[in-house]
Amino acid sequence: METGGGSRQQEAGKKKTKGRQKTQMRLVQREEDRLITFSKRKAGINKKATELCVMCDAEVAFILFSPKGNAFAYGHPDVRSVMNKFLGREEQYPVSGDPRVIQIMDEHRRGKHDELVDIHNMLQSQVNQLAQLKEAVKQMSESRGDQKGWWDAKVADMKTPEEVKEMHNNIVGFQEALCRHMEMLQFIHQAAAAPPPPPPNPIFVPAFIQETPQFLTPPPMAFVNPAGAPVIGLGGDPGGEPASGVGDGGPGAFVGL
């Protein structure tokens, strides 16, 4: 019974979630996961090597081959010089091994290193100053956390007429500002909801200046029928009876056209 109780306590004491556990050093089975792990680990190695070079002025070099066979190299000052130094070989300088050139290159390298160290120190100092400023602002906000606004004050706690008058002025000022803001919002809302203006009234154009020409019908014309001339009746046959409304065709008769 005791053994069973102890096992139950051990099971209850175990973590239900994985949390931060030690990664087991074994081959990743899935090829996709293996490539992702390689990329992450390679970035971490590059970061650590850079820190060693900058902070310790160390000469570091390494070569990595990915699962696909791609080579990745890192070296400071360069891979070849570090490898030759490790193998005990003489370094082949580009300009005939001139010691003056070697000295100039070493001085330039050390000067660049010192410049990077100064920049790192300056940035670190700025980070520390920002952290101190953040802490000061936090402490100031915590110290002012108990202070309340005038609207949180209790009327019963006011002991002097000056306090009551100050509260009254604050309330009146707040009310006036609120009314002005409300009027402005109402004006904007009414302007946005107003209907569009009506179209302009049409302009009357007299008939004599319109583009369509107006033709006037000429008045009826009269002529004298000489004696013995045939009368052509409007709407009748030639030489026949005159049209209605036409005279007998004698001398002095008028025919209206």
**Can you give the pTM of this predicted structure?**
0.30
Matching residue, tokens 């003056």: 100
Helices of type H across the chain: 2-13, 31-56, 79-87, 99-143, 161-193
Helix pair angle (31-56, 99-143), 10° resolution: 100
Q: Which of 19-23, 34-38, 115-119, 137-141 has the lowest mean pLDDT?
A: 19-23
Is 60 exceeded by the pLDDT of residue 116? yes
Give me the phi and psi of 76, to 5 degrees please. Answer: -140, 120
Give me the phi and psi of 71, to 5 degrees please. Answer: -100, 140
Question: Which DSSP letter does residue 61 get?
Answer: E
pLDDT in tens, 208-240: 544 555 545 555 555 555 555 555 444 444 444
